[in-house]
């Protein structure tokens, strides 16, 4: 497969853009090759600048649940664009989409639109601090909540106490307010809570971890977090930027029956356009400016193009049997890849929740960052490159989630499984 033009474009990009990309994982560094430059997409496929075709399981990192260039979404954006791309003023579309989100997500009684998932989590944490009058937050090792300063913190071993900055440019004074526990370990949470009595504003968690691969919550974990937060006056925030509207119309909180105090959402609610949102209980959300004193603002918040794309997308997701059919496709492809590995005698640990799935190059169970980090990333890189050469586009990292869309066909799934069979034989 020829990648000559992508290679040339990457060289040109590196002269103008740090690392040649505008978001680090796109650089393909963890798989030891140059990135593809994408020209266009349609349905379940993307096409690169060398005119190669790939079955896409990245889906712009999740939001393309109805497929690329869905005609209904395209029409909604085109119709809106004809009347103006941005006003910095209220539009009716904002209220329409807000009510669709409120109706869908159990925890959300009011919602504020923003422009990205990072902005949503950053704002939700500020609101939690303002509402509770507390400064500290608790997150989990391996859960990514955007690149704001307070959240770029790595964990120590076990139940770490205070975090340390995970990036130059993040002051230690910011990081010291961030506590880091182990995903799926209530013991690590209880230890931190007891040592920081009445000082933790919120616990923020991906209810289905999607940034260390796909790691589901163990039975009782989310329920335990809910009880701890209720007992200790801590707000529970579900970061559903990835899982929201992905694993069910009401997100992971619908799947597991646990209702947080606040929820953050990402660009799936804008059909893939730059958008995010955070919402929750009315008494919390009303503390936001201008109804309350906690400040948050954004010129592009509620952008008309994103609102229209979101209304069109959520209207499709509400159609009867949408998630049933998506579940069937996702089960087929995830099981097919797992079976391909088994046939080749290659040990992997496979996980899936709804249309999120991951093949961990690890013969043992993966349930937190410590176990995920033990994966054979070199073998994953070989597998990734082989799958790419077979026309299957996966996320260029062992620690990312794969996504299935409604546009994936039986033929796509069959071809993906055939590619996996060849790839696992290659690395066995």
- 264 and 387 in a single domain? The answer is no
- 222 and 261 in a single domain? The answer is yes
- 152 and 256 in a single domain? The answer is yes
Picking from 25, 63, 83, the residue whose alpha carbon sits closest to that of residue 270 is 63
Q: Which of 317, 345, 362 corresponds to the end of one domain?
A: 317
- 311 and 328 in a single domain? The answer is no
- 150 and 291 in a single domain? The answer is yes
Q: Which of 290, 317, 344 corresponds to the end of one domain?
A: 317
Q: Which of 317, 335, 370 corresponds to the end of one domain?
A: 317
- 87 and 117 in a single domain? The answer is yes
Which CATH number does the domain housing residue 403 bear?
A: 3.90.1150.10
- 254 and 117 in a single domain? The answer is yes
- 415 and 295 in a single domain? The answer is no
Please, which pLDDT band fits residue 425 given cuts at 50, 70 and 90? Answer: very high
Is the pLDDT at 165 greater than 70? The verdict is: no
For the chain, the domain total comes to 2
Length of the chain: 428
Higher pLDDT, 241 or 173: 241
- 308 and 330 in a single domain? The answer is no
- Indicate the angle between helix axes 377-389 and 410-427, nearest 10 degrees: 130
Which CATH number does the domain housing residue 167 bear?
A: 3.40.640.10
- 82 and 218 in a single domain? The answer is yes
- 78 and 52 in a single domain? The answer is no
Domain of residue 230 covers 71-317
Q: What is the pLDDT of residues 79-130, one digit of tens each?
A: 999 999 999 999 999 999 999 999 999 999 999 999 999 999 999 999 999 9
Question: Which residues are part of the catalytic machinery?
Answer: 144, 239, 267
Distances from the Cα of 10 to the Cα of 3, 160, 209, 256, angstroms: 11, 40, 31, 43
- 30 and 150 in a single domain? The answer is no
The pLDDT value given to residue 154: 52
pTM of the model: 0.95
Residues 6+ apart with CB under 8 A from 78: none
The pLDDT value given to residue 242: 96
The pLDDT value given to residue 134: 98
């Amino acid at each position: 497969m020829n990648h000559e033009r992508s290679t040339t474009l990457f060289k040109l990009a590196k002269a103008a853009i740090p690392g040649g990309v505008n978001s680090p994982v796109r650089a393909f560094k963890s798989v030891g090759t140059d990135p593809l430059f994408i020209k266009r997409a349609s349905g379940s496929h993307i096409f690169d600048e060398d005119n190669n075709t790939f079955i896409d399981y990245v889906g712009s990192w999740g939001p393309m649940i109805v497929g690329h260039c869905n005609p209904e979404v395209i029409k909604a954006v085109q119709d809106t664009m004809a009347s103006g791309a941005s006003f910095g003023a209220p539009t009716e579309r904002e209220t329409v989409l807000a009510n669709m989100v409120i109706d869908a997500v159990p925890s959300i009684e009011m919602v504020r639109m923003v422009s990205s998932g990072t902005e949503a989590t950053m704002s939700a944490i500020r609101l939690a601090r303002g509402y509770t009058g507390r400064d500290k937050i608790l997150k989990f090792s391996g859960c990514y909540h955007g690149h704001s300063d307070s959240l770029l913190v790595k964990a120590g071993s076990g139940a770490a106490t205070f975090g340390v900055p995970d990036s130059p440019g993040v002051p230690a004074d910011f990081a010291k307010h961030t506590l880091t526990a182990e995903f799926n370990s209530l013991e690590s949470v209880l230890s931190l809570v007891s040592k920081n009595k009445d000082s933790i504003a919120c616990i923020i968690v991906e209810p289905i971890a999607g940034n260390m691969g796909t790691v589901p919550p163990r039975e009782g974990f989310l329920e335990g977090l809910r009880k701890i937060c209720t007992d200790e006056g801590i707000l529970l925030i579900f970061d559903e930027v990835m899982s929201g509207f992905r694993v069910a119309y009401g997100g992971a909180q619908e799947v597991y029956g646990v209702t947080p105090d606040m929820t953050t959402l990402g660009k799936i609610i804008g059909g893939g356009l730059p958008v995010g949102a955070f919402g929750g209980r009315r008494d919390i959300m009303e503390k936001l400016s201008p109804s309350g004193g906690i400040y948050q603002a954004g010129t592009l918040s509620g952008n008309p193009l994103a609102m229209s794309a979101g209304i069109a997308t959520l209207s499709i997701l509400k159609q009867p049997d949408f998630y049933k059919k998506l579940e069937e496709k996702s089960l087929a492809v995830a099981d097919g890849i797992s079976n391909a590995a088994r046939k080749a005698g290659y040990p992997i640990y496979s996980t899936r929740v709804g249309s999120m799935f991951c093949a961990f190059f690890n013969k043992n169970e993966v349930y937190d960052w410590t176990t995920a980090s033990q994966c054979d990333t070199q073998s994953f890189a070989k597998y990734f490159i082989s799958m790419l050469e077979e026309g299957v586009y996966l996320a260029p990292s062992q620690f990312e989630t794969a996504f299935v869309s409604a546009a994936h066909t039986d033929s796509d799934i069959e071809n993906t499984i055939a590619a996996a069979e060849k790839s696992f034989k290659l690395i066995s």
